[in-house]
Amino acid sequence: MAGLERQRQLLDFALSSLARRPMKNLASLTVYTAVVFLLSSVMLMSHAIRREAAALLAGAPELVVQRLVAGRHDLIPTDRLATIRAVRGVAAAGGRLWGYLFDPAVAANYTFLVPPDRSIAAGTAIIGSSVAAVRGVGPGDVMSFRGYDGRPVAFTVTSTIAAESALVAADLFLVSEGDFRRLFGIPADRFTDIVVTIRNPREVRTVAEKIDAALPDARIILRDEMRRTYESVFDWREGMVLVLLVGAILAFAIFSWEKASGLSADERREIGILKAVGWETADVIGVKMLEGLVMSLTAFLAGYGLAFLHVFHFGARLFEPVLKGWSVLYPEFPLAPSVDEIQMASLFFFTVFPYTLATIVPIWRAAVVDPDMVMR
Amino acid sequence: MSTLRVRPSTVLFAILAVGGVAFGTTCVEACLGPGRAAVRLARTARLAERLQLTDLCLFTEARYTRHASQADRHAAFQDHPAALEHFPSGSLMPPSGAANRASP
């Protein structure tokens, strides 16, 4: 009990010492919290999106066959369906019709899609929640677009897709096959691409190789590759996230270095006085370590807690300008709270320990010198 | 008359207790989150399967970031081979998993 009380007395002293320099320590705590907040927000958001992507794309087409012309995606002739269906191992193959339309009224891009069951009646459309929001339309309203030949093609909105599905359907515009072909001028013997179902999932690669051999101008995309694309989204090794991370780490390194590289005259005098009145070197180091631990633990808890609220309760609002880019449609999707324990432990380790340890070296250097020398 | 003085460590313990409870709440929420969202996720996954969707609607500004998995190898350089990437989302969305595969 006496040992515990002694530690508590040291903690009281450490806190009083922090309180003697309120502005400096408050500024340090704010910067520290901001760094943890930024790193945690990126970490939580990327993990949650990867998790949702894996769940949502589990039922994605097993194989998509595109036609490439001069390195670019081109419309695929319908007779390729027969070639694909003839490949051993193929259970079914069907053409997909989808494409993009730029709506000059709101400068937004929509994804036009014909549902595989062709369940949409001619002249009608089902629209995604972001399309409805940006155009201010709902069931019963009419939307008209200029077709490929300049003639208007009108759609009566029958319903909107629920906002809870915005992560896959925010910009969708579901129309009938006839309307789609009329709007874009796509002939009846062309599809956008072909979706293939495989009899035995373990034979996907073999079947893909056979299709590739039968259709040399085709490009085949496997479901695994679709999922892998989203496994690396917001990856820390790529693009803006890397820039952000490097910036934050550099800021943190400068901040820690400033702390580690030297003590202020006040701090030196304080250590000298403590030594002069009989404090052991170990106690002085202990007090200063406690100061570092209090700062880093508080910053971690505050930064991480704020990041959790930011990502899962406020829709990662601060990242919106970066994610939105130049697009007009910005899907607002709820993310299910989920945490990667290893990522969280790494973040804790790399933010709390370096700072605490960084405080030891200069304190130790000051604490081992003669008190009279330190106070001069 | 003596005034009651609160020890600084008591204040710290109170702050850390609040922080600890908040941290614990995030852990509980993270454990319960996937279960709570299961119905929503299942409905959305069914929609994605029914419509044969291949991509997430994260970025709508460029076709190669809207349908990243379906984009061709040169999509980001659509004007000419030396053209610089000019959509912000291109720096967040990596090339598709199929982009670097030699064959098929």
In a domain, B67, yes or no: yes
The nearest CA of chain A is from the CA of B65 a distance in Å of 11
Q: Please report whether residue A295 resides in a domain.
A: yes
CB-closest option in A58, A115, A327 to B60? A327
Asked if pLDDT for residue B104 goes beyond 60, the answer is: no
- 3-state SS record for chain B: CCCCCCCHHHHHHHHHHHHHHHHHHHHHHHHHHHHHCHHHHHHHHHHHHHCCCCCCCCCCCCHHHHCHHHCCCCHHHCCCCCCCCCCHHHHCCCCCCCCCCCCC
Confirm whether B29 is domain-assigned. Answer: yes
Q: Per-residue pLDDT averaged across B50-55, rounded?
A: 93
Residues B27, B44 within the same domain: yes
Q: Judge whether residue B83 has pLDDT over 70.
A: no
pLDDT of residue A239: 62
Q: Is residue B15 part of a domain?
A: yes
Q: Is residue A69 part of a domain?
A: no
Do the Cβ atoms of B52 and A227 come within 8 Å? Answer: no
Max mean pLDDT among B3-7, B39-43, B60-64 falls in B39-43
By C-alpha distance, the chain B residue nearest A241 is B92
Asked whether residue A200 is domain-assigned, the answer is: no
pLDDT along chain A (376 residues), means of 10: 80 85 86 88 87 89 91 90 93 94 91 92 94 93 93 94 91 95 95 94 92 92 88 68 76 72 72 81 82 88 94 87 77 84 85 77 74 67
**Residue range(s) defining the domain that contains residue A19:** 9-56+233-375
Contact A153, A178 (CB under 8 A): no
- Determine the distance in angstroms separating the CA of B1 from the nearest CA of chain A, rounded to an integer: 24
Helices (H), chain A: 2-20, 22-56, 80-85, 129-135, 166-169, 177-184, 204-214, 223-231, 239-261, 265-276, 281-312, 320-324, 341-358, 360-367, 371-375
Q: Is the per-residue pLDDT at B64 higher than 50?
A: yes
- Say yes or no: B64 and B33 in one domain: no
Q: How many domains does chain A have?
A: 1
Residue B96's pLDDT band (cuts 50, 70, 90): low
Verify whether the Cβ–Cβ distance A108 to B96 is below 8 Å: no
- Residue entry with tokens 């899962």: A312
> What is the pLDDT, as a whole number, of residue A213?
93
**Structural domain of B64:** 55-96
If pLDDT is split at 50, 70 and 90, which confidence band does B77 have? low
- Whether B2 shows a pLDDT value over 60: the answer reads no
> Which 20-39 residues of chain B touch chain A by CB within 8 A?
20, 22-23, 26-27, 29-30, 32-34, 36-37
Which residues of chain B have a CB within 8 Å of the CB of A338? 30, 33-34
Residues B67 and B90 reside in one and the same domain = yes
